[in-house]
Structure 1
Amino acid sequence: MTLMETQGLVPMTDGARLRWMALGDTTRRPAVILLHGGPGLPDYLGDVAPMIADLAPVYRYDQRGTGRSPWRGPHSFARHVDDLAELLDAWDVPSAVLIGHSYGTDLASRFCLRHSDRVTAMLLMCGPFVGDWRTGDRAERRRRMSAAQQERLRELEGLADRTEEQEVELLTLAWFTDHADTERGWHWAAQGARRRRPVNWPMNGELGKEGRADPLEGHLADLRARLPARAEILGGADDPRPVSALEELALRLALPLTRIEGAGHEPWLEQPDAVRTHLRRFVQAVGA
């Protein structure tokens, strides 16, 4: 079946213009919104949308300052939440199913805190992580890398200015350990290092600083009270970020957690059939 693809450019109230894409019949409801991670990367969830676009229209967009959504001003969680609200208005979508990945789970959660009436259902994929997850993440990444790879990554991170090839090398080294199979992971990371560009490092830094000053962890009780009736967590069992952090999140939010075996931080790459089955069940249950 051939699915209809549409796209457009929506002006925000502060002058930014966000590029969006939709797959499927946009007159159908509920609509699904895929929220990509980063922060500072363009949308990369093009392989996920077709898994469910025959069930519901699937919208994606490049967050401001990434991909085809140019922006050189400041970044904040509040502004990114406003962006999503304004996009829903532009799409004539009163409420939507939010599926966030990585940083996109943080964005989905913060959107739910402010606009719970506009969240029909929510699936948090590979995040958000709570507790001291970074210590375990760093240790597991070191285990998956050789000493030479670790040293080279440190060298590249220390450069004030990097060439195009150095940037690609840095991102490949930083990302290949996201995957359970690091040999295939190297291929996916190298591919992503060229496609998911340019990285908006200032955006990454600004939102990272705000996240440390006002962590989502401090709002979990409020989030639990505002969650839609159908909300779940999905994670790769072999994500370097410890699955125990997702288990703690599931416990504090009283949500079911599904672990995809043999998959890391981007489970649709390593276990596409398992992810497809889960997403389709989730969206079908929302529609029912």
Structure 2
Amino acid sequence: MSKPAGAARLSFVKPLEPVQVETPPISNDWLHEIKYDGFRTQLVRDWAGAGAFSRNGHDWSQRYWPIVNAAEKLPAESFIVDGEMIAPDPDGRPNFHQMHSRMVWNAEQLAFVAFDLLHLNGQDLRSLPLIERKAKLWELVKPAKGIIQYSDHVEGNGAAFFEAVEKMGLEGMVSKRRESPYRSGKVDSWVKTKCWEVGTFELWGVKREPGKPAVGIVARDGKYAGSPTITLPKQLRDRLEQLVRRARAAPPAGAPRAIVDPTVEWVKPGSITATVRHLRNEPKLRHGNVQTISEEGT
């Protein structure tokens, strides 16, 4: 496509960021989508060709070259598509832990899930209702069976949708007001509800600072996993104090230098376990809470 006279290039648009909530909205003016576990990406095509940009606007076209090539073949002269780059498993579920290796070695095994359309053929669509933008997006990417996919949605029934997402073992869901325009930045017309899971971790130590809740330093498979808050009933807190005093030791070899400080009481690895509730599919524990503790072997 040659450059039209006086035509400027389309530029990256700062993405809309959903607000995190504990429970999904239930009214019928919301539509709900799966929250895909990958890297937020924007596909931009104009008279000079297509490109792929990270959530911060960095040009990652070379990393995502198969998707960029596919974008060149979509039936439009120009567009800006918002979506998520994922590393799908054979069953289609996104596998975040495979993202980096595929970006380097097997980019053809990545996929782009499109969920919004901001510009199309010279027209800025951001003021249109979301449901209209998604209809235009489907017409652009259908049948969406290749490495450019389409984020399906359901309207209403947010609680039932979240229950299904949890049962499928997915990261969570994103709910969007069906009539909402697209606005850059954090906007509450989009909200994300993440799934929780409970796991058992090795307790390496307890960090206490004046005026702050105590946190546990926990590990899994001998590697530091995060610092969940300790919000135990008094009886369990007293029990934890006893176990920590009994098992005091030097910091374990695998403890990151950044967390080794005098506010942490370290314990012998393998002596205490902690059951932690935390957000699903996070590389390090986020919003974690220690629910129970036990002495190894009890």
- Do the structures match in fold with TM over 0.5? no
Which of the two has higher C-alpha Rg?
2
Return the TM-score normalized by structure 2: 0.24
Return the TM-score normalized by structure 1: 0.25
Structure having the larger proportion of residues in helix: 1
Structure having the larger proportion of residues in strand: 2
